[in-house]
Amino acid sequence: MRSKPIRTRWLASLLAACTAFAAHAQSGPMQRVAIIDPNGFEKPMPAHWVELPAGWQTQGGVLWDQAAPCGATPSLRWQAHSPDGSQRLSVHPAEAWTWDNTGLPPTRGRCPRVPITSARQYLDSWIQRHRPGARLLDYRDRPDLITTPPPPDGAGTQWRKEAGEYLLAYVDQGVEVRESVAVVTLFSHMSMPGVVPGEVRQFMTGFAMGATTLRAPAGRLPLDLLARFSASIQVDPQWQARMNRHNQVIARQGTEGMRRRGQIVADTNAQIADMQMQAWRDRQDSQDRSHQDTLDIVSETTRYDDPAAGGQVRLDGYGDNAWRMNDGTYLHSDDPNFDPNRDLDIEAAPLERIE
């Protein structure tokens, strides 16, 4: 599968993934605080600036995790809480995964293969892993949280975005709690001919910008705070400049997919969230060849370019040479001197093997 590259745009919609719930704005003084990148460069520096109610405390910041699934880094692990700790706003690390219809079982590893194909399914999975036993009070699709369109389709790849939100209830240390959990997701889809005539193999990649949660005791959930918070987010220009230079270094080191879309867009509004998607999609491009090679080995197939079939085809077994017959079937051989046109007196078009 060949994923289109993208590169880092960041996170305001990620942080805004729970936005615009209530019509009444929260009153009271606000404070401007920094979201810190503690490890990305030579010294800690602000990455984003946000507004929170006066007296709220924060912890965490930008997360650089080379072990993140499918290279979904940098990300955020950050939270803010009220002075008494009862109200808490959190942004959780981004995640990415793949899925396909090859029939292979799901796997958990550096790039998980899991059957998550919608924002709601992602939230179901996230809640099962992070809020086991919580009661699901309500779910709704949140297309209003998607502030920028998905990338344009092309090169056999289709893109789509989805957003959703759950309202949860559970008991924490004897207190009845309400929590909103929301996310914006990006999916890419690619299809190609399979080995059997008429078979279509489908491949998908998924990226979640990180679940954003807001929790409080029942009856005290300040849903309107999210809108004010997300509207206040600004990227720090010095951090932005360092990220630009970081991307340029990566490009010079030969990551072609990153280089093709290696510039960070200097968004200072809700579109900042797409920067995180950008980073992940670029890594998908750089990992693609390894993914295809692994699939070749696991499925014991060899890929060839067949223009008549509209793209790549996979043929069972391993062979250096292959031909397409007039009836749409294939023949392949390891013998470099074999030619079905000459040796079998049949018409066959040679195919180019994809390394």
Q: Is the pTM of this model over 0.85?
A: no
**335 and 267 part of one domain:** no
Residue 123 lies in a domain: yes
Query: What is the full per-residue pLDDT of the chain (355 aa) written as tens digits?
Result: 433 333 333 344 334 433 333 333 345 799 999 999 998 788 899 999 989 999 999 999 999 887 888 878 888 899 999 999 999 999 999 999 999 988 888 887 778 999 999 999 999 999 999 999 999 999 999 888 787 889 898 878 899 999 999 999 999 999 999 999 989 899 999 988 877 788 888 999 999 988 989 999 999 998 777 667 766 778 899 998 888 887 677 666 543 433 333 333 333 233 334 444 555 555 555 555 545 554 544 445 677 788 877 777 767 655 678 888 776 777 777 777 778 787 666 788 888 887 7
pLDDT at position 319, please? 66
**Domain-embedded: residue 3:** no
Cis peptide before 74 (omega within 30 of 0): yes
Residue 203 lies in a domain: yes
Measured CA to CA, the distance from residue 78 to residue 46 in angstroms comes to: 13
- For residue 270, the model assigns a pLDDT of 36
Same domain, 21 and 170: yes
Is residue 110 located within the same domain as residue 62? yes
Last residue of a domain, one of 273, 291, 309: 291
With H, G, I as helix, E, B as strand and everything else as coil, classify residue 269.
Answer: coil
Residues 233 and 341 in one domain: no
261 and 305 together in one domain:
no
Predicted pLDDT of residue 17: 37
Domain boundary among 291, 312, 332: 291
Let me know whether 210 and 342 are in one domain: no
User: Is 4 within the bounds of a domain?
Assistant: no
| Residue 117 located in a structural domain | yes
Residue 276: give the domain boundaries. 12-291
Asked if residue 71 lies in contact with residue 280, where contact means CB atoms within 8 angstroms, the answer is yes
Last residue of a domain, one of 291, 309, 336: 291
Number of domains in the chain: 2
Provide the pairing of β-strand 200-208 with 175-193: antiparallel
Residues 310 and 279 in one domain: no
DSSP-derived letter for residue 275 is: H
Q: Are residues 236 and 335 in the same domain?
A: no
**Does a structural domain hold residue 305?**
yes
Same domain, 204 and 337: no
pLDDT for res 316: 60
Residue 91 and residue 125 in one domain? yes
Residues 127 and 244 in one domain: yes
Does residue 227 lie in a domain region?
yes
Does residue 83 belong to any structural domain of this protein? yes
pLDDT of residue 109: 74
* Domain match, 77 and 205 both: yes
**In angstroms, rounded to a whole number, what is the distance separating the alpha carbons of residues 236 and 40?**
14
Contact of 56 with 229, CB cutoff 8 Å: no
